[in-house]
Amino acid sequence: MAKRRDVAIVGVYATKQERFSQRSALSLTMEAIHGALDDAGLTMKDVDGYLGFTFPAGSGMGVTDGNVAYQLNNPFGLVDRYSGAMALLQAAAAIREGLVETVIIAAAGSRATADGRTVAWTRPEYEFTEWTGSMTPAQFALQMRRHMHEHGTTVEQMAYGCATVRNNGHKNPDAIMFQRGPYTVEDVLSARMVADPLTLLMCSIVNDGGNCMVVTSGERARACKRPPVWVLSGAMESRYTAYFEAPSLEMLKGREKMMKAFGRAGVRHEDVDIVMIYDHFASGLIMSFEGLGFCEIGEGGPFIVENIGLDDKHPVCPDGGNLSFSHPGNPYNFKAIEIVRQFRGDVNDLCPQSAEGVHTYDRSICRKVRDPKLAACCGPMTGRHSFAILAKD
């Protein structure tokens, strides 16, 4: 039996995603907060919890509990620096415990490039990375090479996943990479090499943008403006600090903990209609399915080739994901936001009547998933792993 529905996402909002917005992260955050509250039919006075952070953190005090409460002129019973699936699970736990009733989860990023090719936060100034010239793509390239060595994963499988997700973004007018495709596997493989085996098209884009979602109790959710999307269950685990140490396959050892969440939610893997993978690099598309138990470890490559298209068993990232839609430094909320929009039927694409919720399912122009009811909202496998199971009302 499915878990009782007592915590829900009731409001979502994303600012315009841009390469260079000329806006501050704080400005983008505030637009997203007010937009999500309006979407829910609530105001700031209804809010008693805040999760999220910005790039940069704003004032010198940053995101402390007192500073956030003071700046937003609202007393909060919960404040912390998380977003995406981890934030959803923490908000849900606090709401179920009665510590808070309504939580906003907000994030934004606005960064200039470091040298015209990479942004500053991909070149970490840490003791064991800076002196080697290490950068984020190089670290995750090492992870993917290990997976290829141990399990026989191929670059063609990785390229298939990336082309699939990028082609979803090609049909999304809100995506940074809108109409930049369509892409073939060969396009992905022949793109400029960034860090072997990762070509440019196997790596996330970088841009500016803000996002927010509103989570509340089941009782209040029923009175909100839009249909609730229920937070059934999920799991999270931390094992090491990414970007300090080179990513390894260590996170796959948390597979059993992740799989137990399906039992707590009263659902099966085969019931999941959308999987919003954290597609930071090609490795995420493959390893997340293994880490969540959709397939055995080492089978992720063949699995994605058979299962992640819009008309396949587990459509992935219909918005275009980090690879094509947006990656403003903290894109975690976008995974849940796209699920909410797919459930509601609020999917912007090239279908002539998409604004009215009418879709053709012609995959040359349409990115709407057919009648989704259950989805997995994933966080990154970057030293920690998390996901939440979301259900349509």
Whole-angstrom CA distances from 302 to 142, 240, 274, 297 are 20, 28, 18, 11
Report the pLDDT value the prediction gives residue 117, as an integer from 0 to 100: 58
Report the pLDDT value the prediction gives residue 17, as an integer from 0 to 100: 96
Report the pLDDT value the prediction gives residue 112, as an integer from 0 to 100: 55
Whole-angstrom CA distances from 138 to 129, 134, 381 are 11, 6, 15
Query: In the numeric block, which tokens belong to residue 244?
Result: 């300090």
The model's pLDDT over 72-122, given as tens digits with 9 standing for 90+, comes to: 888 899 888 889 999 999 999 999 999 999 999 999 988 755 555 566 666
Indicate yes or no: pTM above 0.75: yes
Report the pLDDT value the prediction gives residue 1, as an integer from 0 to 100: 39
User: How many Cβ atoms sit within 10 Å of the Cβ of residue 248?
Assistant: 17
**Which residue stretches of the chain have pLDDT < 50?**
1-2, 55-58
Give the distance from CA 103 to its chain's centroid. 18
Report the pLDDT value the prediction gives residue 55, as an integer from 0 to 100: 45
Domains recognised in the chain with CATH numbers: 7-112+206-392 (3.40.47.10)
Question: Computed over its alpha carbons, how large is the radius of gyration of the chain?
Answer: 20
User: How many Cβ atoms sit within 10 Å of the Cβ of residue 175?
Assistant: 25
Please give the single-letter amino acid code of residue 97: E
The DSSP symbol for 296 reads -
Tokens 């004032």 -> residue:
59
